[in-house]
Homo-oligomer: A and B are copies of this chain.
Amino acid sequence: VIVTLAGGVGAARFLAGLLDVVPPGDVTAIVNVGDDFVLHGLSISPDLDTVTYTLAGEVDRQRGWGRADETWLVMEELERYGGQTWFGLGDRDLALHLYRSQRRAEGATLSEITAEVARAKGLGVRLLPVTDDRLATKVVVPGEGELAFQDWFVGRRHALPVEAVRFDGAAESRPAPGVLDAIASADLVVVAPSNPVVSIAPVLAVAGVGEAVRRRRDDVVAVSPIVGGRALKGPAAELLSTLGAGATAVGVARWYASEVGTLVIDELDTSLASEVAATGVRCVVTDTVMRDRAAAAALARVVLGAVEP
């Protein structure tokens, strides 16, 4: 089984490619829930939904999140009340949020609900939220104090500089059922090309998960989300630059040095390969830009071959 630690859009695209290469029953995704929050009384799990919609072939490819062919009647009407429309929930997307919120009120765990949704969509892959407990990513912005992740990421369009990131609840959280076993028994653990600081770090912060991954370090392959000093999507470069070891493939290698045995970097960064290797992380160079499904599948094949058996 291939276990993938996943954030949102980048992870979802990688997983779609991976599923073109291995049967869905051989894939387990452990997904970040640090971005989860409640708005309008609804339980929102952005990364789980991006992965689910992408693997179901329902995602809006342009945006990378939400449903394709979406309509926005509810949000347009909410605008008339002066309601909170800063976080876009399309009409079809809302249905999943109603379902999740009701099931949570009935006592179902996020794991159970995620499995129900995957089943309803006919996904053979196993999707696990990293924890069923509360985990809330907070960012500290100079002059503003601590913001909830989505208030910063979507509400303020991640334009404000961040001086610290904190994963509220991480110490008390328990890995969701199956998470530790999946990591311990995986043939390969892949760290998807997601934001290391705010997508993968909260996954590793759940009590026991980081330790479990470190124990498998030789079998852990990460794909660098930084190509040519920039993130293909989102604020990974800025965050690695401020909080990490620099917004380059080398910075990613340093960031992941304890957990990751092999880092896959882009051909654009070939010149950094020896510097990556010098951090103690094996380096594999390939085309990592998933411009289409075929490119994602090709990347998945390289990742699968990155660790010699």
- A42, A74, A96: residue with the most chain B Cβ atoms closer than 10 Å: A74
CB A289 to nearest CB in B, in angstroms, measures: 33
Q: How many residues belonging to A are interface residues under a CB distance threshold of 8 Å?
A: 33
CB proximity of A137 to chain B, nearest CB, Å: 20
Query: Judging by beta carbons under 8 Å apart, are B71 and A83 in contact?
Result: no
Is the pair A84, B71 in contact by a Cβ cutoff of 8 Å? no
A80 within 8 Å of B by Cβ? yes
Q: Considering the complex, which residues of chain A in the window 201-260 have a beta carbon less than 8 Å from any beta carbon of chain B?
A: none
The A interface, classified by DSSP as helix, strand, loop or mixed, is helix
In contact, A95 and B120 (Cβ under 8 angstroms): no
Contact check, B116 vs A92: say whether CB atoms are below 8 A apart.
Answer: no
Q: How far is the CA of A6 from the CA of B94 in the complex (A)?
A: 32
Q: In the complex the two chains form, is B41's CB within 8 Å of A102's CB?
A: yes
Contact B94 A81 (CB under 8 A): no
Known contacts A40-B42, A41-B41, A41-B42; is-contact A81 B104 (Cβ 8 Å): no
Chain A, 63-122, CB within 8 A of any chain B CB: 71, 73-78, 80-84, 91-92, 94-99, 101-102, 104-105, 116-117, 120
Interface membership of chain A positions 17-56, coded 1 if the CB is closer than 8 angstroms to chain B and 0 otherwise: 0000000000000000000001111110000000000000
Pick the residue among B76, B78, B117 that contacts A81 (CB under 8 A). B117
Asked whether, in the complex, the Cβ of A74 is within 8 Å of the Cβ of B102, the reply is no
CB distance from A110 to the nearest CB of B (A): 14
| Contact present for A92 and B105 (CB under 8 Å) | no
- Distance of A104 Cα from B120 Cα, bound (Å): 31
Q: Are B41 and A104 in contact (CB under 8 A)?
A: yes
With contact pairs A81-B116, A117-B81 given, residues A41 and B98 touching in the complex (Cβ less than 8 Å): yes
CA distance A41 to B78 in the complex (A): 17
Contact across chains for A92 and B120 when beta carbons are under 8 A apart: no
Question: What CA separation (Å) do A92 and B94 show in the bound complex?
Answer: 12
What residues of B have a CB within 8 angstroms of the CB of A77 in the complex? 91-92, 94-96
A interface residues (Cβ-Cβ under 8 A, vs B): 38-43, 71, 73-78, 80-84, 91-92, 94-99, 101-102, 104-105, 116-117, 120
